[in-house]
Amino acid sequence: MNLEKLMKEKNVDAVLITNMLNVRYFTGFTGTTGVALVAGDKKFFITDFRYVAQGKEQVEKNGYELICENISTLKKVGEILKELKVEKLGIENQNVTLDQFKLFESNFTSLEYVYLDDNFTKIREIKSEKEIEIIKKSVEIAEKALELTIPKIKIGVKESDIAAELEYQMRKLGASKPSFDLIVASNERSALPHGVASDKKIEEGFLTIDYGCFYKGYASDITRTFYVGDNPSEKHLEIYEIVKQANEKAIKEVRAGISVHELDAVARDFIKEKGYGEYFGHGLGHGIGLQIHEYPGVSFKAENKILKEGMVITIEPGIYLPNFGGVRIEDDILVKKDSYEILTSLDKSFKKIK
Ligand SMILES: [Mn+2]
């Protein structure tokens, strides 16, 4: 699916792109203010004077004409729509506020609106060669940063200090920012699937680090679980091994043509078989791209889609035992025609950090 096909399918004369990630995706503009308007073969990017120089450089090569409007973007959009005699306009109803919509309705009374729902974000789920290269670099930065951070991990160091170090290393290596609030969760806190780094000191037990960065707008998302200390129990070794195997079994099944429910079940059934089904409550994974979580959802809870070549997804099974600790192992995977490519390369064997 691309923009032209979508417009045909939705039978609209024009589309107004207002979600900044979608604006970036279609126009190449990386700033924070602007809208894109596409009507047939005419493409416009409307922004204010702050972004004229940057915007021109970024959007013109993608075929968009930059229009500078300092007072009211919406008014300018209206003028263009009128000039082009647009009757049916596709809008991002999931991204337009009620106030904006009221403004639309009162200003452009003759327009018919077509709700595009999440169709633009669905277009984004299949990555181009160029996008894949950027995601690979984003992963590479994140992995190097973790390798540089591991020597700082010790019993008694605060989780938040490890998160800060990791962020510092990622930025030094070229990342623009972390892809979300980094998760560094020690011992019992590792049983919280989203245990954002706290001021708690690292104790003996599991340490889950779920992190990633943005590089040229694209997210990486990786999780590794370590054992800090020297005396893991049988249980620690057991659940680690189950999660690792679940991760590896699921990755082996990744290919264009498998459904997300089937893939989720590969890991889930295995964890169930081993007796820990109730401790794996979240989905197996998700797409990554301009957002840390995007289509497709790789989960029994998500719409059951078929994976396609060029999607980039995470595979992240976990087992979380309350008052004990948890393990999650997450890799980033490129879906290929009859196979997959693992973009992450950090070791997954049980690792003790002393
Ligand atoms: Mn993830």
Question: Do 165 and 20 fall within a single domain?
Answer: no
Residue-wise pLDDT for 307-317, tens only, equals: 999 999 999 99
Q: How far is the CA of 331 from the centre of ligand 1 (A)?
A: 8
Q: Using CA atoms, how far apart are residues 344 and 332, in angstroms rounded to an integer?
A: 6
Mean pLDDT, rounded, for 146-150 = 98
CA of 332 to the centre of ligand 1 (A): 9
Tell me the CA–centroid distance for residue 298 and ligand 1, in Å. Answer: 10
Given a cut of 80, whether residue 339 has pLDDT beyond it is yes
Span from the CA of 91 to the centroid of ligand 1 (angstroms):
29
| SS3 letters across the chain | CCHHHHHHHHCCCEEEECCHHHHHHHHCCCCCCCEEEEECCEEEEEECHHHHHHHHHHHHHHCCEEEECCCCHHHHHHHHHHHCCCCEEEECCCCCCHHHHHHHHHHCCCCEEEECCCHHHHHCCCCCHHHHHHHHHHHHHHHHHHHHHHHHCCCCCEHHHHHHHHHHHHHHCCCCEECCCCEEEEHHHHHCCCCECCCCECCCEEEEEEECEEECCEECCEEEEEEECCCCCHHHHHHHHHHHHHHHHHHHCCCCCCEHHHHHHHHHHHHHHCCCHHHCCCCCEEECCCCCCEEEEECCCCCCCECCCCCEEEECCEEEECCCEEEECEEEEEECCCCEEECCCCCCCCCEEC
Compute, in angstroms, the gap from residue 264 CA to the centroid of ligand 1: 14
Does one domain contain both 269 and 148? Answer: yes
Same domain for 142 and 223? yes
In the reported structure, the alpha carbon of residue 316 is separated from the centroid of ligand 1 by a whole-number distance in angstroms of 7
Whether residue 110 is found in the same domain as residue 133 = no
**Which residues fall within 8 angstroms of residue 147, CB to CB, at 6 or more apart?**
346
pLDDT confidence of residue 75: 85
- How many structural domains does the chain have? 2
Domain final residue, candidates 98, 123, 148 = 123
Domain endpoint, select from 69, 104, 123: 123
Q: Are residues 52 and 197 in the same domain?
A: no
Among 123, 158, 173, give the residue marking a domain's end.
123
- The mean pLDDT value of the chain amounts to 96
Identify whether residues 67 and 158 lie together within a single domain.
Answer: no
Residue 3 alpha carbon to ligand 1 centre in Å:
28
Query: What pLDDT was estimated at residue 113?
Result: 92
**pLDDT tens profile 50-66:** 999 999 999 999 999 99
Its pTM stands at 0.94
The mean pLDDT of 205-214, rounded to a whole number, is 98
From the CA of 221, how far away is ligand 1's center (Å)? 5
Tell me the CA–centroid distance for residue 250 and ligand 1, in Å: 15
User: How far is ligand 1, taken at its centre, from the CA of residue 230, in Å?
Assistant: 28
**Confidence band of 194 (pLDDT split at 50, 70, 90):** confident
Same domain assignment for residues 112 and 157: no
Question: Are residue 199 and residue 337 in the same domain, yes or no?
Answer: yes
Both 209 and 322 in a single domain?
Answer: yes
Ligand 1 geometric centre to CA of 212 (Å): 9
Which residues constitute the domain of residue 278?
Answer: 129-353
Is 284's pLDDT higher than 80?
Answer: yes
Asked if 150 and 257 sit in the same domain, the reply is yes
Q: What's the CATH code of the domain at 267?
A: 3.90.230.10
Calculate how far, in angstroms, residue 69's C-alpha sits from the geometric centre of ligand 1: 39
- How close is the Cα of 55 to the center of ligand 1, in Å? 32
What percentage of residues in the chain have a pLDDT greater than 90?
A: 91
**Ligand 1 geometric centre to CA of 285 (Å):** 6
CATH number for the domain spanning 68: value is: 3.40.350.10
Centre of ligand 1 to C-alpha 232, Å, is 26
Ligand 1 centre and the CA of 329: distance in Å? 10
Centre of ligand 1 to C-alpha 52, Å, is 36
Q: Average of pLDDT values for 162-182?
A: 98
Same domain, 263 and 296: yes
Q: Write down the pLDDT at residue 103.
A: 82
Q: Count of residues for the chain? A: 354
Instruction: Quote the pLDDT of residue 97.
Output: 86
Residues 233, 267, single domain; the answer is yes
